[in-house]
């Protein structure tokens, strides 16, 4: 443990300039633009944490990994999730080890208290030994404490911090601000070598201002077409240059469709490798439709992608929906052949398809009911006027409810039994 009076040892940066950052990362297969490289250079010189925000799949996590490789530092990762508490991020006490030592030292503990005149005295003697069982020997460090206690320089990745609860953000403030962690039973640990800390966020919620204030900040978006093509080239996917360039443009087009999950850079690389394995030299909408599931992972996104691919590749191309199971049948085994012809009327009612909402749970019930709400739909049911009554209303006959037939008083009396009373 480092005494609180000691100061963290400053680690000399391995980067001499921004260009040096670009070259070092590129040597590891990470293509960084000038703005990102400048931010990384400042991270190493100012020894401040870096908060990277942006959509999933733009290279935030990969940057931390490649920075560790490029600088020769040890890589540590704290993966955040909902409900995570500080014991999973900072440290835990090894209770199993403490119990084992207690059992082994039972005889020794008995000797400590054997001549105690009363119980309070015995308790005091045992209590005096607490420091033995709550010491570094029984301390189980988690990523944050491990990064602080490490004898060698590290790169600490705090991944998807926006998924953690706000309580964990408060725990991070001491670590990120002073590179130290306080353990009440032991003392304060201070970093021997200031770690390079990178936090990532997918913007699922806003982070506390106190957390952002302690960090350098950069919003990392999807790369330009040229830089993404450079990334694909650097991975040696095996896809020809012309096809790779066209594939990058297709992926960028898919990202503009407002999909539930836009294709990431790593998925672009996977798609390029997939096409290379299939021996594709010239892209067409059919082969891209056959392999679109490599980059599109939700059913409704697949439908949007299949509709858009012909226009992204060749406006004159067509796709055989039945071959992909994305027609009306969907391959869900509904017991029909997928022919939902909307040309023939059903039960004499509306011939159009029922409106379907974009909700994952299926059709919008209100829209379906509204589509069926047409005059005459209840004809002849539960006393409602039948179609013959409707026809009478149209022709003005005596059966028209709007022009009722005149009834004489005698007929009315007979209907209500009044005629019998007069007879009496």
Q: Give 346-401 pLDDT, tens digit per residue.
A: 444 444 444 444 444 455 555 544 555 555 544 544 444 554 444 444 444 444 44
Answer positive or negative: Cα dihedral of 51, 53, 59, 62. Answer: positive
What are the DSSP calls for 283-312, one per residue?
--HHHHHHHGGGT--SHHHHHHHHHHHHHH
Phi, psi (deg, nearest 5) at residue 324: -105, -5
Summarize the confidence of residues 274-295 as an average pLDDT.
94
CA angle 308, 313, 317 (to 5 degrees): 80
Higher-confidence residue: 154 or 114?
A: 154
Confidence (pTM): 0.64
Cβ distance 73 to 144 under 8 Å?
Answer: no
Summarize the confidence of residues 316-320 as an average pLDDT.
53
- Tell me how far apart the alpha carbons of residues 294 and 266 are, in angstroms, rounded to a whole number: 10
Which residue, 105, 95, 67, 362, is CA-closest to 197? 67
- Tell me how far apart the alpha carbons of residues 145 and 156 are, in angstroms, rounded to a whole number: 11
* Alpha helix segments (H runs only) across 76-200: 86-89, 95-104, 106-113, 119-127, 130-133, 143-149, 166-178
| Helical axes 225-234 vs 241-255, angle rounded to 10° | 130
Q: What is the pLDDT of residue 169?
A: 86
18-90+142-219 CATH fold: Rossmann fold (3.40.50)
Rg of the chain taking only CA atoms, in angstroms: 37
- Of the listed ranges 25-39, 240-254, 269-283, 386-400, the least confidently predicted one is 386-400
Q: What is the pLDDT of residue 58?
A: 92
| Whole-number average pLDDT of the chain | 76
CB atoms within 10 A of CB 51: 23
- Of the listed ranges 32-46, 202-216, 295-309, 311-325, the least confidently predicted one is 311-325
> Hey, which residues does 218 pair with through a beta bridge?
52
CB atoms within 10 A of CB 263: 25
Confidence of residue 4 (pLDDT cuts 50, 70, 90): very low
Cβ distance 42 to 217 under 8 Å?
Answer: no
pLDDT tens by residue, 233-251: 999 999 999 999 999 999 9
Domain limits, the chain? 18-90+142-219, 92-137, 225-308
pLDDT tens by residue, 137-177: 777 788 888 888 898 999 999 999 999 888 888 888 888 88
């Amino acid at each position: 443990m480092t005494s609180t009076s000691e100061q963290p040892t400053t680690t000399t940066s391995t980067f001499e300039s921004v260009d040096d950052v670009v070259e070092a990362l590129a040597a590891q297969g990470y293509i960084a633009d000038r703005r990102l490289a400048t931010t990384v250079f400042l991270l190493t010189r100012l020894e401040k944490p870096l908060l990277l925000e942006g959509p999933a799949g733009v290279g935030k996590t990969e940057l931390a990994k490649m920075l560790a490789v490029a600088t020769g530092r040890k890589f540590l990762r704290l993966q955040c999730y909902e409900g995570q508490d500080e014991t999973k991020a900072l440290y835990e006490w090894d209770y199993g080890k403490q119990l084992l030592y207690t059992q082994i030292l039972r005889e020794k503990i008995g000797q400590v208290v054997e001549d105690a005149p009363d119980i309070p005295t015995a308790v005091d003697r045992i209590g005096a030994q607490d420091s033995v069982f709550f010491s570094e020997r029984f301390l189980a460090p988690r990523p944050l404490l491990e990064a602080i206690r490490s004898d060698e320089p590290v790169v600490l990745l705090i991944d998807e911090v926006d998924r953690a609860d706000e309580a964990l953000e408060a725990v991070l403030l001491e670590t990120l601000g002073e590179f130290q962690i306080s353990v009440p039973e032991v003392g304060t640990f201070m970093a021997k070598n200031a770690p390079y800390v990178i936090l990532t966020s997918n913007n699922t919620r806003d982070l506390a201002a106190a957390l952002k204030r302690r960090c350098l900040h950069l919003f990392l978006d999807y790369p330009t077409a040229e830089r993404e093509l450079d990334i694909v080239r650097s991975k040696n996917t095996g896809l020809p240059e012309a096809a790779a360039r066209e594939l990058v443009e297709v992926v960028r087009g898919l990202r503009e469709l407002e999909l539930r999950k836009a294709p990431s850079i790593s998925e672009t690389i996977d798609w390029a490798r997939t096409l290379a394995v299939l021996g594709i030299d010239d892209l067409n909408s059919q082969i891209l439709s056959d392999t679109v599931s490599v980059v599109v992972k939700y059913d409704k996104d697949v439908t949007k992608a299949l509709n858009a691919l012909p226009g992204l590749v060749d406006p004159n191309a067509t796709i055989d929906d039945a071959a992909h199971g994305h027609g009306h049948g969907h391959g869900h085994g509904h017991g029909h052949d997928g022919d939902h012809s909307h040309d023939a009327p059903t039960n004499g009612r509306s011939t159009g398809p029922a409106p379907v909402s974009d909700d994952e749970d299926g059709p919008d019930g209100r829209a379906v009911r509204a589509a069926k709400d047409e005059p005459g739909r209840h004809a002849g049911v539960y006393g409602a006027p039948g179609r013959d009554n409707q026809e009478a209303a149209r022709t003005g006959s005596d059966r028209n409810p709007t022009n009722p037939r005149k009834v004489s008083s005698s007929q009315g009396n007979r209907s209500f039994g009044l005629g019998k009373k007069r007879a009496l």
